[in-house]
Amino acid sequence: MPESDADPEVPIVCPECETTTRIPIEDVADSLERHNEGMHDGEEVAQVDPDIAEELADLVAEDLGLL
């Protein structure tokens, strides 16, 4: 399958485990929950890369006419 046809992936970081990975967008919530439950007793340590999360929030705000 060509790269352009692939599902978008979101970078996920876990500073405590010192890991970074890319997860298909539809699996992000489940993957984060599973990792944080299994590795960090449910504490929200692993998260979407903060730079990407901020950029997405800006795009959504702009799209909604809030900026």
Distance, in Å, from the CA atom of 9 to the CA atom of 28, rounded to the nearest integer, reads: 9
Distance, in Å, from the CA atom of 7 to the CA atom of 34, rounded to the nearest integer, reads: 21
Element (H, E) at 22: strand 19-24
The mean pLDDT value of the chain amounts to 91
pLDDT category of residue 1 using cuts at 50, 70 and 90? very low
Give this prediction's pTM. Answer: 0.75
The percentage of residues in the chain with a pLDDT greater than 70, rounded to a whole number, is 93
The neighbour count for residue 10, using CB atoms within 10 Å, is: 19
Residue 44 has pLDDT above 50, yes or no: yes
Distance, in Å, from the CA atom of 3 to the CA atom of 59, rounded to the nearest integer, reads: 23
Is-contact 47 12, C-beta < 8 A?
yes
Residue 66 has pLDDT above 90, yes or no: no
What's the confidence (pLDDT) of residue 49?
95
Over residues 34-63, mean pLDDT? 94
